[in-house]
Structure 1
């Protein structure tokens, strides 16, 4: 059994080619998919962060506008301002107490107008303090005048001052809950002079809820920074270090900035009402959580595809190589000399075509070997017959050679040339050392001797022309190919003429058909259609092994029987069917003799052999 599992076998090469191609394609697609997914996720996170911070800034603007309106409602309350002004001048304790209750009631009305107010504190320029708080009311610290927040409100000259988040009330020391604080100066509406300040403390939950809207991961941090880079509010936990806001991008009004050049995604936007800047900082490591799931999904998919590709590669390679292994095994049988087997497979069209061609090739080889065997047997038999008949031609050759020297001594040149030519012909016909194979060159040389005899006998009635290209003269032919053709042309075509005749021998190459044609043509009496068809039938039967028939009998209208034909062959020599059969045995059934003729115009016999691949170089012989 032929082994095809080696490292260089088709099975292994197809397996690795398919698997590697699949792996390369899979890795390329996975890398592109991962890169595109990363880009999409980063883009979506950036868009989400930008959208969130824009919404948060919008919420801050609405919230601060509400707080600003709340402080303005206090500052524009004429009754409150009048009572504050009179209370500072009133000396009567009863009237002063009544005014204080009225002021407290007005502050209480403002306090209950919103749910998020923790406390409202009004401090007059004379130091009088009015408070309305959720709890611990009436407990106020007196050290406010030296504080930073008090000074900021006084210096703002009526503008809103956003003090931000505070760990406990700025007024009531008992209030320790975180509050959002803002305030402004109160003015007397009659003379536009400051009469004190209002300080409002609110629940920080709305602020913190708005800040949490900016966070997009558990480790995101959000900061509200004023124009002096002071932190107003943040989601920073204890132990975390605040960034340097001076180096962060500062957006303009109604602008959002996204910066992802560092190890954090930084988004920022500005709140127009308070001139605050909101910063959102998200570590990029948190953004990779989604990418980690994508990577895990890709790894699972790649592993599954690799497993599937391995199975498919094995099946495909085996499906392709199995019929090839059968073909190789049958080739081994052919190599051992067994031409009787055949391969039967049902695979791809190309492999089926290859197997069919192999089966046809083996069949043709078997037929060719059988034909060569038969030809070899026939050739051996012919050699034996030639050897048996060689005694008389040899004796004749010696006798003719002796006659030639005797005639030469008597100076009979013409008869001497004829005898010499005849002796050469006997020598050529009796030399079988190379069996029946010769060349066109040797055949032409032999024909010169024969034509010497013919021209001497007919005394000018036959003229010959030879036009054979030198490069075709080494083409192999069976021995005694031209002599029977020329002999028939002279005896059956030219001799019956009452005028001089022309015999031409020339070559023609048909490269398209791959054929070399040696043409022997005469302008003799020719044949009619019936006799030409009968002669062609003889050639076909001769190529298939039928007995030879002589051309002259056909041209003369005779129909010889087998015994008569044998007598003619004995008398006339080698017949045309015999020449045709020997050429077919040498080159194949598609080669041999082709005959054309017309009554009164002449006959053309064409010897067809394969066109040589490397013809000899030379000049034409005229």
Structure 2
């Protein structure tokens, strides 16, 4: 009873708790229920919500709640809360006597300022100059009746003035809203539609004079960003295509340059003079032709990483005949990365550098390791090769990079780095780190899922 008083106020007369066996417990100082059987027969609109009684119990308004087992739905008991009619009547002290009633759907008074009127029928709206306002409760069948004195003529006049002002205000709102819509929605959308048609004809013009911050303005700003991005992409793709064409020509020139051909033909000449190695000559020539065909073959700008590494392995196999057991070549390509598209001929310049400026100068042979992995959702390709420690040992990586670049090692890196950055953005590219006995080139590119 104390907790109920704290939560609801001091309007509770008593709380009656009954179990399934009919035992009843009363909380509070109120009188027992007068119509206990009526509560048992009272219908419930919703089983799990409180239901206000449509009758008064000893002049009190009462509310009942059924308690059921959550799993089976069996009835455990009921809770009935009865309100003190005299205390509720004190809420109407600021209203004229006989002007406010709470009734049920049958117009029976459930609560009033005068407790003696509870249980009787509410007065009919037949008196002259009396106006009854009725409001139905959203939570029960109760009705709230408020009776006030009124003159019909004054009411009609007030309603007429009210209707006039409402109509005038409505027209003003319509005019203002129409002007606002024309200024902020219709005109900008019309201009945006016209610019979109021009963009379809590859005439990319910006939406000018956008000063607001509403949704339509955001749409216009988004269109401007799209146009700027489209222009940027067109320029980048154009430069990327030029670089790709140039790279293809440079790749062909690299493969047929005198140094490469001299080494290959010298190897073939030497092998042909040695009977036990002469059998390698046709295979070496076939692999050389395969590399040349790959480099000049028509097609798209990209190939799968597996195809690119297959060309690299072909290139290594030619050198394997030269170095035999002295050359160690390892490729770590997880199956998940085999079909990832990469720019064509992106690895060849780096592999060529690994031999020209590394393995070829190692008197005891050398190694090249290609490792493919993922880092921060980007594709990483690491190419590590041995270098002669006497020529490349420096006090810092920066000095070693400058020394290597003077020998021509930097041209292939610059070409690959520019192609990647133009195609994918500034955060991608190639980095070179040189140690005392090895050089490591790392390519970073985004992981592209074809068809996604």
Alpha-carbon distance in 2 for matches of 1:608, 1:485: 14
Q: Which residue of 2 aligns with 1:606?
A: 442
1:422 matched to 2:288? The reply is yes
Q: Which residue of 2 aligns with 1:475?
A: 340
1:303 matched to 2:139? The reply is no
1:438 matched to 2:275? The reply is no
- Structure 2: runs of 5 or more not aligned: 1-91, 101-115, 129-146
Secondary structure of the corresponding residue to residue 329 of structure 1: helix
Alpha-carbon distance in 2 for matches of 1:612, 1:473: 12
Alpha-carbon distance in 2 for matches of 1:414, 1:384: 29
Aligned counterparts, 1:115-134, within 5 A: none
Partner residue of 2:381 out of 476, 500, 518: 518
Alpha-carbon distance in 2 for matches of 1:451, 1:294: 99
Secondary structure of the corresponding residue to residue 368 of structure 2: strand
1:559 matched to 2:410? The reply is no
Aligned counterparts, 1:49-198, within 5 A: none
Quote the offset at 1:499 in angstroms.
5.5
User: What is the CA deviation profile of residues 371-412 of structure 1, one whole-angstrom value per residue up to 9, with x for unaligned ones?
Assistant: 33344455556767889999999x99xx99x99xx9999884
Q: Which residue of 1 aligns with 2:316?
A: 451
Partner residue of 1:292 out of 153, 156, 175: 156
Partner residue of 1:368 out of 215, 230, 233: 233
**Contact in 2 for aligned 1:522/1:603 (Cα 8 Å):** yes
Secondary structure of the corresponding residue to residue 433 of structure 1: coil
Alpha-carbon distance in 2 for matches of 1:438, 1:489: 22
Alpha-carbon distance in 1 for matches of 2:321, 2:210: 69
TM-score, normalized by length of structure 2?
A: 0.55
User: What is the CA deviation profile of residues 126-178 of structure 1, one whole-angstrom value per residue up to 9, with x for unaligned ones?
Assistant: xxxxxxxxxxxxxxxxxxxxxxxxxxxxxxxxxxxxxxxxxxxxxxxxxxxxx
Secondary structure of the corresponding residue to residue 575 of structure 1: helix
Quote the offset at 1:460 in angstroms.
2.5
Q: Do the aligned partners of residues 507 and 288 (structure 1) sit closer, same or farther apart at CA in structure 2, a change above 3 Å counting?
A: farther
Alpha-carbon distance in 2 for matches of 1:488, 1:391: 15
**Contact in 1 for aligned 2:384/2:438 (Cα 8 Å):** yes
Alpha-carbon distance in 1 for matches of 2:254, 2:334: 35
Q: Do the aligned partners of residues 390 and 337 (structure 1) sit closer, same or farther apart at CA in structure 2, a change above 3 Å counting?
A: same
**Contact in 2 for aligned 1:527/1:603 (Cα 8 Å):** no
Quote the offset at 1:498 in angstroms.
6.0
Quote the offset at 1:361 in angstroms.
2.5
Q: Do the aligned partners of residues 421 and 614 (structure 1) sit closer, same or farther apart at CA in structure 2, a change above 3 Å counting?
A: closer
Aligned counterparts, 1:396-415, within 5 A: 412-415=278-281
Quote the offset at 1:310 in angstroms.
0.9
Partner residue of 2:418 out of 575, 581, 591: 581
1:465 matched to 2:330? The reply is yes
Q: Which residue of 1 aligns with 2:44?
A: none
Alpha-carbon distance in 1 for matches of 2:322, 2:117: 123
Q: Do the aligned partners of residues 323 and 533 (structure 1) sit closer, same or farther apart at CA in structure 2, a change above 3 Å counting?
A: farther
Quote the offset at 1:346 in angstroms.
1.0
Structure with greater helix percent = 1
Q: Do the aligned partners of residues 387 and 502 (structure 1) sit closer, same or farther apart at CA in structure 2, a change above 3 Å counting?
A: closer
User: What is the CA deviation profile of residues 35-82 of structure 1, one whole-angstrom value per residue up to 9, with x for unaligned ones?
Assistant: xxxxx9xx759559xxxxxxxxxxxxxxxxxxxxxxxxxxxxxxxxxx
TM-score, normalized by length of structure 1?
A: 0.42
**Contact in 1 for aligned 2:341/2:448 (Cα 8 Å):** no
Q: Give the superposed CA RMSD.
A: 4.8
Partner residue of 1:359 out of 224, 238, 261: 224
Report the number of matched residues. 316
**Contact in 2 for aligned 1:330/1:343 (Cα 8 Å):** no
Q: Which residue of 2 aligns with 1:506?
A: 371
Q: Which residue of 2 aligns with 1:159?
A: none
Q: Do the aligned partners of residues 481 and 256 (structure 1) sit closer, same or farther apart at CA in structure 2, a change above 3 Å counting?
A: closer
Aligned counterparts, 1:190-229, within 5 A: none
Alpha-carbon distance in 2 for matches of 1:436, 1:580: 16
Alpha-carbon distance in 1 for matches of 2:256, 2:355: 28
Alpha-carbon distance in 2 for matches of 1:388, 1:505: 24
Alpha-carbon distance in 2 for matches of 1:350, 1:384: 50
Quote the offset at 1:484 in angstroms.
1.9
Alpha-carbon distance in 1 for matches of 2:337, 2:313: 18
Secondary structure of the corresponding residue to residue 227 of structure 2: helix
Quote the offset at 1:339 in angstroms.
2.2
Q: Which residue of 2 aligns with 1:312?
A: 176
**Contact in 2 for aligned 1:342/1:359 (Cα 8 Å):** yes
**Contact in 2 for aligned 1:264/1:284 (Cα 8 Å):** no
**Contact in 2 for aligned 1:501/1:523 (Cα 8 Å):** yes
